[in-house]
Amino acid sequence: MQAHATVPSNKRSASVGSKRRLRFLLIFVLCFMSWAAVNIWGQFAKLHEKSKVVVNMEQQLVDANKLKEQTQREIARLHNDEYLDQIIRRDFHYSKTGETPLSVSKSQ
């Protein structure tokens, strides 16, 4: 009879030990998933910041390419003598011999 009495207590202690291990495993998995979620959230925040920087850099690249094209067009136009004459007259107020310069004031 004593043998029958000890068997249920062994099953009971094994059941308690298995529940304890299962609870420990569950807490460990929960902690690990929380840590992973926090890291993923932080990575998304960093990704969002970097994407803003990339968009800003792309806009700067577009602006720089426009400026480059304008500069190349201006350089190509500077090889034309008539264009050089126009620039000299406009910016430095020069006139050819025999021409009378006219001064036009802006009306307010």
Can you tell me the distance from the alpha carbon of 12 to that of 51, in angstroms, rounded to the nearest whole number?
A: 58
35-65: pLDDT as tens digits: 999 999 999 999 999 999 999 999 999 999 9
Region 2-19 average pLDDT: 66
Can you tell me the distance from the alpha carbon of 32 to that of 24, in angstroms, rounded to the nearest whole number?
A: 12
Start-to-end C-alpha separation, the chain: 119
How high is the pLDDT of residue 22?
94
Q: List all residues 6 or more positions away from 101 whose beta carbon is below 8 Å from its beta carbon.
A: 93, 95
Q: Are 88 and 94 in contact (CB under 8 A)?
A: yes
Q: List all residues 6 or more positions away from 84 whose beta carbon is below 8 Å from its beta carbon.
A: 78
Question: What is the average pLDDT score of the chain?
Answer: 87
60-92: pLDDT as tens digits: 999 999 999 999 999 999 999 999 988 988 888
> Is 50 exceeded by the pLDDT of residue 96?
yes
- Assign 16 a pLDDT band (cuts: 50, 70, 90): confident
Region 8-18 average pLDDT: 73
pTM > 0.85:
no
Task: Give SS3 for 79.
Answer: coil
